[in-house]
Structure 1
């Protein structure tokens, strides 16, 4: 199905929080590429620059959330005023999304936002360095519509300082890895979060490695090792999930 074949005309919304223009623009371009959406059907909101606009969930096809330098588990005193505002706005939106079971897919930062809403413990227990890991679908993951076309196990890009350490019973575990037990989960029928990045390709993650070299994801002398780590295996499967999300929910 091509972009012109998608039903309806209601846009999807990408909620972004990257302050640096290079990684922010590349993230948007990657979501456009792998969803197959034209720009007029993927509205980007840069929450680090502007307040959350009024979003009528009846007037959009679905909500996507990109990655973020923000960590939900950071102590309050370490959070900037922008981060606190974004978290409050995201909390309000996610509460409405879950209550209405509206289409939602949060990549990486989606775990922090959706996980916080369902009172999941989020901490550094299962942090993963920037790398490629093997992600395995659970039996419920293999049966989930969003995993259509995915192999039972696939390589994916990760890089995060926090993760869910124990998924509450209110959520359905869809995928795990050896180093992070909650790689993907669902709440209700239509609300999803992934710890891995389905939107990334190797060029995109290399951009982020350089942009966030001083953010504590790796030591100053580990740049070359980190670049090698993301090239150790081809990553092709996860992006299919974005196209499936769009095909399923476009209206």
Structure 2
């Protein structure tokens, strides 16, 4: 069994396969176990067996007005991971959908007011990020991929804000020493993100009629810091 675990929350199996590969590359090619949370509930043994957990994105939203029983169970499992990370029993990196789950769990507000279309964006590290072992070496600015409908309105109580953006004010935060949450996607290369677009062409993350133009902009982007963040996460916790 690997010391790191990838949690998939994507119903599209091929998209989850690609996301798993992206995380594995970003984490330095280390062995990376996988749990597809929509198909298999998280058990206590799996949670206890891994020193670090990375949680991928999802077309699900915390703000969905009528979540299914499956979505509620998935979010309960994600909250269990967050609680374990806050207690230091494991380390966890929540991305995109996951930051909404953690924000709500901590008493923060998740809003639909600051969405970001599929694109590479430049975000800024906060002063608190300078001393952070994961974010500090990245310097004052990072170029990363975003695509989301909901986001945290502000860093929730007990969280340390690590990165901000012009459109979306909360791009990353840390809780304690072992829980990280990012609104952006740290794992995909431009080619990865361009391929992911094909699964979500009609899901509202970009203008479907402008697919080719958006995809070309994604492919032309220079994005490096996401993989560096993942590499440091693995080095620190695995």
Q: Place the TM-score, normalised by the shorter chain, in its bin.
A: over 0.9
TM-score by length of 2: 0.93
> 1:95-141: per-residue Cα shift (whole Å, max 9, x none)?
23323463111121221121121111001111101111101111111
Task: Name 1:70's counterpart in structure 2.
Answer: 60
**Aligned partner (choices 183, 206, 217) of residue 229 of structure 1:** 217
The answer on whether the counterparts of 2:26 and 2:227 sit within 8 Å (CA) in structure 1 is yes
Q: Which runs of 5+ in 1 are unaligned?
A: 1-8
How many correspondences in the alignment?
238
Task: Name 1:92's counterpart in structure 2.
Answer: 80
> 1:125-180: per-residue Cα shift (whole Å, max 9, x none)?
11101111101111111221112431311211000000001223411000011111
* Counterpart Cα distance in 1 of 2:41 and 2:47: 17
Residues 1:147 and 2:139 aligned together: no
* Counterpart Cα distance in 1 of 2:64 and 2:36: 21
Residues 1:217 and 2:205 aligned together: yes
Going from structure 1 to structure 2, the CA distance change for 1:226 and 1:82 (only over 3 Å counts) comes to farther
TM-score by length of 1: 0.88
**Aligned partner (choices 9, 20, 24) of residue 28 of structure 1:** 20
Counting only pairs closer than 5 Å after superposition, residues 93-172 of structure 1 correspond to structure 2 as 93-100=81-88, 102-172=90-160
Poorly superposed stretches of 4+, deviation over 4 Å: none
> 1:73-104: per-residue Cα shift (whole Å, max 9, x none)?
111x2x23322221122223322332346311
* Counterpart Cα distance in 2 of 1:105 and 1:90: 11
The answer on whether the counterparts of 1:118 and 1:168 sit within 8 Å (CA) in structure 2 is yes
TM-superposed CA distance for 1:10, in Å, is: 5.3
